[in-house]
């Protein structure tokens, strides 16, 4: 099963086994990663599942759609080049070891 | 440790109050009590992905069960709070148990407005608000062929889209002259009439439903006052909701179109707050007192009250926003358009990319967007910050909303 590493704003890492097809957001909620709020439930209406994707993985993700790009513009912590909404990242075997860093706040 | 905070209602507002209290560093006891037998879940998917069978219960839980233990939230589902004793500061459950509180948050939500016409209680006339109701709708949709939806608002249209996507014959009966008329401008209503028609949904506006006919206790048709008859083996009703105000009323708390609260979301009793679908609050963006039914309103009000209870007294001033998903089209709404006196648009229905800008006395108050997500997100910033924008600028594609919004800080997400 692919692993995803969540790095909190304080720098603590947690490695979680995530079934392929699950989003990085859903896996975070299920495993009690507190830095993801996911207020809208994963429909690109809020920015509360914002993550910074590790440089080594960013280019391997399918690019963000317009809707996601727009939401990133209102993130509570300003977006960076590797910003994504974790609700839009589906975990695959190819992404095994994916590292995402959580912003200081989501609201 | 004291008696802490008691939250009545396990919907999005109740859940978020409990979660945000812990995020705010609140250390006291938190008791979260709700009538529904389930752990807190998201309501929006019930009339969308859940009804379609694309999402199961686990995927719509707001948090897994372990979250509540991990955050020391005493979750008590399946229990009805029947009385509040403001003198004692306690709530009593139907079971007779009672809980003391220092702060009480009423996040009791709303319930479906029921039809009172002849035949309204026939088997096959369904409503949708709770998970249990959604399970029934989903099950009954499987074998139904002719669906009549009464109500062309968000819920009715989302259900119509679901039923149509499942291959059913669908008719939508709306009493007013156009769809979603209380929420959106005619341009948007027309777009959605066209969208539904293009998928094969029969949309009838100005339809005055007079009776539901049945045989052997089962629904057979919906009749209009003008005599038109629409055969149906399933009728889905979405004609709005009524806020649950009984608990507040019985506790002698003021009630208008919802439990009345001030800008801090406090009732007339400073230890009792009311938030979400059940509460009527003064809204700067609407310019009046409003009661809103949305995830945004529930979550932001919960966050505001949690901060206040945790010691950071907080005026509620979040910008309202909404969405609806019908077929493959998402409508995004920012602000409150009620009372607008001028409407301009960008894009058009043909390209399926359309934004409508609503103005009141020269001020931008709301934007509705179809497939123009940046307009929506920038609109939230512009409206929240009160950035001046003229109707002429709004209609002019060359005016870059992102650049305009760039001059202000990050808006509330």
Provide ipTM, 2 decimals. Answer: 0.95
Res B179: pLDDT: 98
The CB-based long-range contact list for B227-230 (8 Å cut-off, 24+ gap) reads B230/B146, B230/B148, B230/B171, B230/B173
More confident residue, B406 or A90: A90
Domain boundaries, chain A: 3-101
Nearest CA to A41 out of B59, B294, B329 is that of: B59
Res B411: pLDDT: 42
Q: Is the pLDDT of residue A83 over 80?
A: yes
> What are the residues whose beta carbons fall under 8 Å from the beta carbon of A21, sequence distance 6 or more?
A90, A91, A92
Per DSSP, the residues of B210-255 read: EEEEEETTEEEEEEETTS-EEE-SEEEE---EEE--HHHHHTT--E
CB of B377 within 8 Å of a chain A CB? The answer is yes
pLDDT 10s digits, A1-39: 999 999 999 999 999 999 999 999 999 999 999 999 999
Fold entry, domain A3-101: Ubiquitin-like (UB roll) (3.10.20)
Residues in A closer than 8 angstroms to B69, CB to CB, are none
CB-CB under 8 Å, B323 with A77: no
CB of B373 within 8 Å of a chain A CB? The answer is yes
Helix B12-23 to helix B295-309 angle, to the nearest 10 degrees? 40
Q: Which helix (H) or strand (E) holds A5?
A: strand A3-7
> What are the residues whose beta carbons fall under 8 Å from the beta carbon of B79, sequence distance 6 or more?
B33, B34, B35, B93, B94, B95, B97
Nearest CA to A100 out of A38, A41, A57 is that of: A57
Res B1: pLDDT: 65
Q: Provide the CA B14 distance to its chain's centre, in angstroms.
A: 14
Res B410: pLDDT: 46
CB of A87 within 8 Å of a chain B CB? The answer is no
Count of other CB atoms within 10 angstroms of residue B122? 17
Per DSSP, the residues of B95-119 read: TS-EEE-SEEEE---EEEPPP-SBT
Count of other CB atoms within 10 angstroms of residue A17? 12
Q: Which helix (H) or strand (E) holds B17?
A: helix B12-23
A73, B378 in Cβ contact below 8 A? yes
Q: Provide the CA B124 distance to its chain's centre, in angstroms.
A: 24
Residues in B closer than 8 angstroms to A39, CB to CB, are 16, 295-296, 299, 413
Q: Where are the alpha helices (DSSP H) in A3-65?
A: 24-30, 55-58
A51, A91 in Cβ contact below 8 A? no
Q: Is the pLDDT of residue A79 over 50?
A: yes
Strands A3-7 and A13-17: antiparallel
Q: How far apart are CA A66 and CA B162, in angstroms?
A: 25
Res B379: pLDDT: 97
Residues in B closer than 8 angstroms to A34, CB to CB, are 23
Residues in A closer than 8 angstroms to B42, CB to CB, are 41
The number of CA neighbours under 13 Å toward the Cβ of B157 is 29
Residue B410 DSSP class:
P
Residue B47 DSSP class:
G
Q: Which of B15, B58, B413 to mutate to test the interface with A (most CBs of A within 10 A)?
A: B413
Provide the greatest CA pair distance for chain B: 66
- Integer CA distances (angstroms), B287 to B23, B256, B363, in order: 31, 17, 12
Which tokens go with A57? 């993985």
Residues in A closer than 8 angstroms to B296, CB to CB, are 39, 45-46
Closest partner residue to A75 among B325, B405, B413, by Cβ? B413
CA torsion A101-A105-B3-B7 (nearest 10°) is -100
Enumerate domains of chain B plus CATH numbers: 5-111+242-309 (3.50.50.60), 114-239 (3.50.50.60), 328-406 (3.30.390.30)
- Integer CA distances (angstroms), B280 to A33, B21, B109, B221, B258, in order: 34, 22, 11, 37, 5
CB-CB under 8 Å, A70 with B373: yes
Chunked into runs of 10 residues, chain B (413 residues) has average pLDDT values of 93 98 97 98 97 94 97 98 98 97 98 98 98 98 98 98 98 98 95 98 98 98 98 98 98 98 98 98 97 98 98 96 97 97 96 97 97 97 96 97 81 43
């Amino acid at each position: 099963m692919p692993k995803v590493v969540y790095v909190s704003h304080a720098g603590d890492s947690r490695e979680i086994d995530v079934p392929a097809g699950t989003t990085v957001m859903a896996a975070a909620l299920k495993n009690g990663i507190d830095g993801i709020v996911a207020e809208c439930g994963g429909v690109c209406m809020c920015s509360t599942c914002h993550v910074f994707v590790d440089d080594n993985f960013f280019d391997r993700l399918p690019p963000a759609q317009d809707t996601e790009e727009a939401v990133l513009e209102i993130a509570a912590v300003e977006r960076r080049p590797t910003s994504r909404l974790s609700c839009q990242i589906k975990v695959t075997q190819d992404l095994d070891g994916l590292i995402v860093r959580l912003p200081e706040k989501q609201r | 440790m004291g008696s802490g905070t008691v939250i009545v209602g396990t919907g999005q507002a109740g859940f978020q109050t409990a979660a945000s209290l812990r995020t705010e560093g609140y250390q006291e006891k938190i008791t979260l009590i709700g009538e529904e037998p389930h752990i807190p879940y998201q309501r929006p998917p019930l009339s969308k992905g859940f009804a379609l069978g694309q999402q199961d219960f686990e995927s719509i839980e707001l948090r897994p069960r372990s979250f509540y233990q991990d955050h020391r939230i005493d979750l008590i589902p399946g229990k009805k709070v029947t009385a509040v004793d403001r003198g004692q500061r306690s709530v009593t459950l139907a079971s007779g148990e009672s809980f003391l509180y220092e702060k009480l948050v009423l996040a009791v939500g709303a319930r479906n407005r029921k039809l009172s016409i002849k035949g309204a209680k026939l088997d096959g006339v369904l409503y949708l608000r709770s998970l249990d109701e959604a399970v029934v709708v989903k099950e009954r949709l499987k074998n139904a062929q002719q669906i009549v939806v009464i109500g062309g608002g968000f819920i009715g249209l989302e259900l119509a889209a679901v039923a149509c996507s499942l291959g059913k014959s669908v008719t939508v009966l709306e009493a007013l002259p156009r769809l979603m008329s209380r929420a959106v401008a005619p341009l948007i209503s027309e777009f959605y009439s066209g969208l539904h028609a293009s998928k094969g949904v029969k949309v009838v506006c100005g339809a005055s439903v007079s009776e539901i006919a049945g045989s052997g206790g089962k629904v057979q048709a919906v009749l209009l006052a003008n005599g038109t008859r629409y055969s149906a083996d399933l009728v889905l009703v979405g004609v709005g909701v009524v806020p649950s105000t009984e608990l507040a009323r019985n506790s002698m708390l003021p009630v208008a179109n919802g439990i009345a609260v001030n800008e801090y979301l406090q009732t007339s009793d400073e230890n009792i707050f009311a938030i979400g679908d059940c509460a009527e609050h003064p809204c700067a963006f609407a310019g009046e007192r409003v009661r809103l039914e949305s995830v945004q309103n529930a979550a932001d009000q919960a966050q505001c009250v949690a901060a206040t209870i945790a010691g950071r007294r907080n005026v509620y001033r979040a910008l309202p926003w909404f969405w609806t998903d019908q077929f493959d089209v998402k409508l995004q709404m920012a602000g409150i358009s009620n009372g607008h006196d001028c409407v301009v648009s960008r894009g058009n229905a043909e390209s399926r990319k359309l934004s409508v800008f609503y103005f009141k006395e020269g001020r931008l108050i709301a934007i509705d967007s179809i497939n123009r997500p940046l307009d929506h997100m920038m609109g939230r910033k512009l409206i929240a910050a009160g950035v001046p924008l003229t109707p002429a600028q709004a209609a002019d594609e060359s005016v870059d909303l992102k650049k305009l919004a760039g001059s202000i800080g990050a808006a509330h997400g």
